């Protein structure tokens, strides 16, 4: 992505850098190989029916979101999760955790803090999800950028739970209305819409050891540009 748009470094670039960093220092699961999580293409179906107490018009006009989060973001930053909650409780919790991981990454940029405690609550330490988010926040901080606008997430696919603790969640990111903002001047760095505004991301989420704790992001993989998928 262009340095004048949104984060000072793209999430894709941060993901690649994190993977190389961990490979170089012997991080990961110990054998240097990433384990494939099977069943990642099992997607839930999005419902178009109005909810209880809603008319059909209300349902169409209402801005979709996955849930209300405890992570507080500025009023000029909006994250819209246009996906349905799975019926399986583990898959629902994993998808919930994935949404909060993306929120926490933006929270770190807003706070200009690569060691943001909010991010730390939503990542498995010393894995690529933490390293990619930290790398992106560091570059945002160094450039003096925060983030603003609307970031949209859709087309979520959730795999089967592996070993009762790991599940892959992939989704589309639409960043055409999501920009970098200079902290000192408040200037929003805008560019024209391009295919680079649409990304496909995959996360491996890890189940907590104790009840009532959140699922945390373990690994992050950039799947490529996703304009066709995002617009379908």
Residue (of 225, 230, 219, 159) closest to 15 by Cα position: 219
Q: Could you state, in order of their start, the residue ranges of all structural domains in the chain? A: 11-45+64-231
Residue 202 has pLDDT above 70, yes or no: yes
pLDDT-derived band at 96 (thresholds 50, 70, 90) equals very high
Identify which has the larger pLDDT, 9 or 101.
Answer: 101
* Cα–Cα distance measured from residue 188 to residue 181, given in angstroms and rounded to the nearest whole number: 4
- Mean of the pLDDT values across residues 50-63? 44
Q: Alpha carbon of 32 to those of 133, 135, 139, 166: distances in Å?
A: 21, 21, 27, 18
**Prediction pTM value:** 0.77
- Mean of the pLDDT values across residues 40-64? 41
**Residue 227: its pLDDT value, please?**
74
Q: Which of 27-36, 98-107, 124-133 has the least mean pLDDT?
A: 27-36
**Residue 103: its pLDDT value, please?**
96
Is 230 exposed, middle or buried (CB count within 10 Å of its CB: 0-12, 13-18, 19+)? buried
Mean pLDDT of the chain: 77
Give the number of C-alpha atoms closer than 13 A to the C-alpha of residue 192, restricted to the C-beta side: 1
Residue 194 has pLDDT above 90, yes or no: no
Query: Sign of the C-alpha dihedral, residues 210, 212, 218, 221?
Result: positive
Q: Which of 3-12, 102-111, 165-174, 218-227 has the least mean pLDDT?
A: 3-12
Residue 212 has pLDDT above 90, yes or no: no
Would you state the structure tokens that stand for residue 60, as one six-digit string? 């169409």
Identify which has the larger pLDDT, 229 or 80.
Answer: 80
Q: How many CB atoms lie within 10 A of CB 112?
A: 16
Using only the alpha carbons of the chain, give its radius of gyration: 17
Residue (of 66, 100, 113, 79) closest to 208 by Cα position: 100
**Residue 77: its pLDDT value, please?**
95
Task: Indicate the class that CATH gives domain 11-45+64-231.
Answer: alpha beta
201, 226 contact by CB (below 8 A): no
**Residue 68: its pLDDT value, please?**
67
Phi, psi angle pair for 25, to nearest 5° = -105, 10
Q: Which residues contact 152 (CB under 8 A, 6 or more apart)?
A: 79, 80, 82, 173, 174, 175, 177
Would you state the structure tokens that stand for residue 115, as one six-digit string? 């060691």
Q: Which of 67-81, 89-103, 188-202 has the least mean pLDDT?
A: 188-202
**Residue 216: its pLDDT value, please?**
97
**Residue 28: its pLDDT value, please?**
41
């Amino acid at each position: 992505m262009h340095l004048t748009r949104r984060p000072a470094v793209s999430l894709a670039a941060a993901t690649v850098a994190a993977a190389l960093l961990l490979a170089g220092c012997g991080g990961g699961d110990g054998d240097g190989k990433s384990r494939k999580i099977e069943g990642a293409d099992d997607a839930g179906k999005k419902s178009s029916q109005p909810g209880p107490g809603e008319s059909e018009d209300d349902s169409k006009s209402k801005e979709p979101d996955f849930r209300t989060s405890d992570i507080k973001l500025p009023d000029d930053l909006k994250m819209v999760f246009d996906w349905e909650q799975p019926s399986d409780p583990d898959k629902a919790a994993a998808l919930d955790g994935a949404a909060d991981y993306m929120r926490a990454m933006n929270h770190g940029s807003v706070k200009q803090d690569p060691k943001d405690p909010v991010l730390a609550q939503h990542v498995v330490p010393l894995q690529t999800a933490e390293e990619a988010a930290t790398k992106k926040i560091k570059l945002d901080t160094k450039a003096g950028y925060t983030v603003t606008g609307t970031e949209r997430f859709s087309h979520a696919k959730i795999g089967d739970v592996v070993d009762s603790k790991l599940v892959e969640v992939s989704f589309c990111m639409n960043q055409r209305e999501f920009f970098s903002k200079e902290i000192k001047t408040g200037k929003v760095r805008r560019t024209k819409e391009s295919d680079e505004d649409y990304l496909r991301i995959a996360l491996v989420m890890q189940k907590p050891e104790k009840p009532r704790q959140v699922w945390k992001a373990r690994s992050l993989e950039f799947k490529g540009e996703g304009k066709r998928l995002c617009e379908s």
